[in-house]
Amino acid sequence: MSESQIPLFQRLKQSAQDEWEAYTRHQFVRQLAIGSLPEASFRHYLAQDYLFLIDFARAYALGVYKADTLEDMRHSSAAVSAILDTEMALHVKFCEGWGLSPQDLESTPEAPANLAYTRFVLEAGTAGDALDLHTALSPCVVGYAEIARQIMADPETILEGNPYRPWIEEYAGEAYQSVAQDACDHLDKLGQERLTDARYPKLARTFRLATRLEAGFWDMGLTCAT
């Protein structure tokens, strides 16, 4: 199979293999899988993820503006609606189960790792086009699905009695896996329309940096408890 026949997400992932492994097999993820992650780390992650979702909605709103077709506008608009109308409410409810009230979430200052990642995604989309934006978004959207699948398939994973089991099963579930596949398909569609050989190295750099920043998000969760 030639490079042009490889789905764009897979091609980008192959070009960032070291960064991808560091992100998807991070110690934060490993500790989630066996239930040994300090609760303070998870609470910190949850609060930051709430703030992250707000900026992710902004990024998809930018995707509406950057889209060339109604179909692509609807794709990004649906993501904005899903985040603001569904995912945010579910996240708040989940956080309440961990002792974090809506007021706690609203008053949480953004951590530097969160700022670095969300501003990078927004800048990639603002300075570039829809392909640049969705390339920067993809490590998060697709990465969480892969992480959850890996956890579920790993014989060392401990689900029984694991306080993080609901988080794992949410991202391993059919609904989220479908979201991730849709993101891959959309990125591939944009690539077929916009990608050139000369442009690929810049996209690969964007993907690698976004993946490093995702790993930095996990680092943030671990270091808050030390």
Nearest to 125 by CA among 13, 70, 203: 203
Residue type, position 173, single letter = G
Phi-psi region of 76 (alpha: psi -120 to 50; beta: other; left: phi over 0): alpha
| Interatomic CA distance for residues 52 and 114, integer angstroms | 7
Task: Verify whether residue 123 is a known catalytic residue.
Answer: no
Task: Verify whether residue 214 is a known catalytic residue.
Answer: yes
Provide the angle, in degrees to the nearest 10, between the axes of the packed helices 70-81 and 174-194. 150
Phi–psi pair at 68, nearest 5 degrees: -100, -20
Query: Torsion angle, CA of 178/194/143/181, rounded to 10 degrees?
Result: 10
**Catalytic pick among 19, 95, 140, 184:** 140
Find the DSSP H helices in the chain. Answer: 8-15, 17-24, 27-34, 39-66, 70-81, 88-96, 102-107, 112-127, 130-153, 165-172, 174-194, 200-223
**Catalytic pick among 19, 95, 184, 214:** 214
Q: Which residues are catalytic?
A: 140, 214
